Structure 1
């Protein structure tokens, strides 16, 4: 049985029953395009597409006077979009977000206003997160591996999947609606869980926007799929559905896409709508076919001056635990080729104004939602591939690999992005055994990062820095250092990694989100057992030399 790790959860509101009658919808942060917003934050990472490097709250960012709360200014010079912000502390991101350090950040513009889309209270933000609780209502985070008692306690686990789905901090809420159109701004803020969502009455989702703005035209979907970090701007039309209760279900396996089936009684349900409110006199306008009358079509990103190859890999850390990691596929740089850890030299250095194509080769068994700071990118396509991987010992003692660039064999035809992925993106699913190509233009100088937005992966080395513009002298020295193995994680980062994480924070969950009787679904949660790691069949064949 797991020890009781108590994590403070001050954002949870009290509830008198298993499902509140109406979801509590907090007011999001709203800004007009071009109107500066100010925020006081501690390593808070916002998602605006264009923001100065110094305002990013990067994982290694430190302030010389911790008691001083710096104020950052964001110019918000981008089109209307649903952004979000969260803590980004090195090695602790997953825990701080789990405790509630995340929120929405909306930008408005004239194009959006010209569309006469549903406005509050008919525009609703939905922040979806899965959590686990102990029987007495304490927030629980799995931190032990029963199959490996010799590991530190607490220790790092590959992923975290909760069995209670929260929407805006409320467990499985029910939202009472009128028989009319609603606009929902959906964000997957979970640690590891992907949601493949459908509606119990088989009505379609009408998606009108993605991560960083509106699509060219509405897209009708039966399944709305969101990985951690992804957002969707959708319309649901409840007209002629009076008296119905409609449930959003989730069918995504965990890990995604080929892991364990979801439990239909717990994480297989997200929330519900009850169409029982009288229709108001507010006009319910038709949805326009052109969503960008003033902005013009989503601009294509063309004329890339170079292509970079990025490797996504699952290896093991120095203690034998699964460790996800990224690196490069570049035979011209043998000292760096293959997997790399966060503190290894910078290997991606686009110049200001450059347009590049980045190809992400996923050699692992799971999909990884890769998020790039700074840029809005376009998904160009996906294609299956196989290749030969040889072992590599990384600079921190972890075991990674090298994908032989000459061995890469593309299979079949490339698939273009689906219609709902055709807009501006900053996070995209990279499926196992496939190369995903994205194009981006780098418009601000400075140091940024890209990483998997499965927070348990990001916290365990699946994150790398990149630099736009001329490298500063200190980074040039670091990037020209000699062979692999010479780099070591700085002490302030080592303190935040899994061997020394201090989870002994006091505090209690404020409120009762559990069913009557006080027992969480499934009772007290034992530590999550390690899931069997699966290498993709192509990589088993590659390693065997077939």
Structure 2
């Protein structure tokens, strides 16, 4: 299987970013003659790396250099091979990458800890826990199930290519029927009556999550939360100040660094982390009003918290309402505004069939949109060191999580079709690398492009990314 690793949230040189066409096959003896063993950018980036670091890439490998000079943050890594990211990530090629230390971190003891680390003895109690949430489906033998036919999505059984322009294997989105946290279906976490730091990652292929903590997982939705989340960080590290939230909306690839205070919960209490996001593409709005929440008995539950034991030691961490987070320095003024678009493409030869592909593109000064595919010429070419505002015009009916490689950006605002603007959501006040672009709206983000090279930007619904909703962009001269 082709693979190439992307450190999502990293600020790295182009040859270490996991460019989709820099994939490679393992050094295996059973690769048939005539198969390409590397992608079209592998050799170019191999030469750049070896010249820069005087270290070789052996056949069937790639070596990436991470300087780790970003703000302390919750990042993650995953496969990014062109056209099969949805399959490789679904199969398990993803994990956390937690960066600590530096002036944008907090001293030990201020926040709940410790976190799990390699070599820990069995039975150690953890108070900082990364939680990767994914939806999966399984065959009756326990193996992962992923649909092999478009018919699983909308019951369309053909004609497929070459009898039409519809791919037989691409599903516009995937929604599993179970919820998985850190590789386990509906797990239970034993906690003490104290504060915990939970680092949530929405690692789903396409599912948006709306997370709450409740006492009854089967209660009518929307349910009343019993404990709030105190959000202290997003993708780019700590927020300017803690934000109390009753629920967390997270799109695929977004992260939320939160504190949950179980102090008031008696030993023996059972609580549940539930999901009220829809079992279909998210379009915005409120659960129970604008869409049907996830099924309470399956995808509406994520995990269980059991207050199973008294305090093992006094909790000396600072209550989240009293926390002073590290200084936050916003980006300076932008020198250029760039307009880009999100669009769906339907079949040109068949009627009544869902989307054939989803695409990115440009918007001209008259508002005309030009959709573009992966192989079209580069249109986004920021100057090295430039700070730009990207206006993301979403003309589709769904919300899309848009990820721009190499940078951490700030959300400026959103503008609806009625021309009213609204500021970033409370959890978007810090730096981010993924933003929700709502349907029929303009989402504005601001970023500084300070590394020369070729990177990508794309929708992080992996089925969209794999079928043309990804574009290369270039920083500096071409």
Q: CA deviation at 1:57?
A: 1.0
Match of 1:251 among 255, 272, 276: 276
Match of 1:82 among 53, 65, 74: 74
Match of 2:8 among 42, 47, 59: 47
The alignment status of 1:149 with 2:158, answered yes or no, reads: yes
Gap runs ≥5 in structure 1 = 1-7, 9-40, 386-410, 472-546
Comparing 259-268 and 127-136, the one that deviates more: 259-268
Structure 2 matches for 1:468-479, cutoff 5 A?
468-471=475-478
Q: Taking structure 1 as reference, are residues 376 and 292 closer, same or farther at Cα in structure 2, changes over 3 Å only? A: farther
Q: CA deviation at 1:136?
A: 2.3
The SS at the match of 2:6 is strand
Deviations along 1:437-474, one digit per CA (max 9) or x if unpaired, are 00000010000111000000000100111100011xxx
2:437 alignment counterpart: 430
1:140 alignment counterpart: 145
Q: CA deviation at 1:103?
A: 0.4
TM-score by length of 1: 0.70
Match of 1:328 among 346, 358, 362: 362
Deviations along 1:416-438, one digit per CA (max 9) or x if unpaired, are 00111100000010011110000
Deviations along 1:179-220, one digit per CA (max 9) or x if unpaired, are 000000110010000100111142111111001100121111
Match of 1:91 among 45, 62, 83: 83
Alpha-carbon distance in 2 for matches of 1:448, 1:274: 44
The alignment status of 1:190 with 2:204, answered yes or no, reads: yes
TM-score by length of 2: 0.80
Match of 2:238 among 207, 214, 217: 214
The alignment status of 1:287 with 2:319, answered yes or no, reads: yes
Structure 2 matches for 1:106-505, cutoff 5 A?
106-110=98-102, 111-113=105-107, 116-120=110-114, 121-144=126-149, 145=151, 146-151=155-160, 155-201=169-215, 202-242=226-266, 243-253=268-278, 254-257=280-283, 261-287=293-319, 295-296=326-327, 298-316=328-346, 321-331=355-365, 338-385=370-417, 411-471=418-478
The SS at the match of 2:107 is helix
Alpha-carbon distance in 2 for matches of 1:71, 1:357: 33
Give the aligned length: 403
Gap runs ≥5 in structure 2 = 23-38, 44-56, 115-125, 162-166, 216-225, 284-289
Alpha-carbon distance in 2 for matches of 1:346, 1:225: 33
1:535 alignment counterpart: none
Alpha-carbon distance in 2 for matches of 1:248, 1:445: 42
The SS at the match of 1:423 is coil
Alpha-carbon distance in 2 for matches of 1:91, 1:66: 24
Work out whether residues 401 and 460 of structure 2, in 8 Å CA contact, stay in contact via their aligned partners in 1: yes
Alpha-carbon distance in 1 for matches of 2:101, 2:349: 50
Alpha-carbon distance in 2 for matches of 1:80, 1:45: 18
Work out whether residues 370 and 453 of structure 1, in 8 Å CA contact, stay in contact via their aligned partners in 2: yes
Comparing 310-319 and 210-219, the one that deviates more: 310-319
Alpha-carbon distance in 2 for matches of 1:47, 1:149: 37
Give the alignment's Cα RMSD to 1 decimal: 2.2
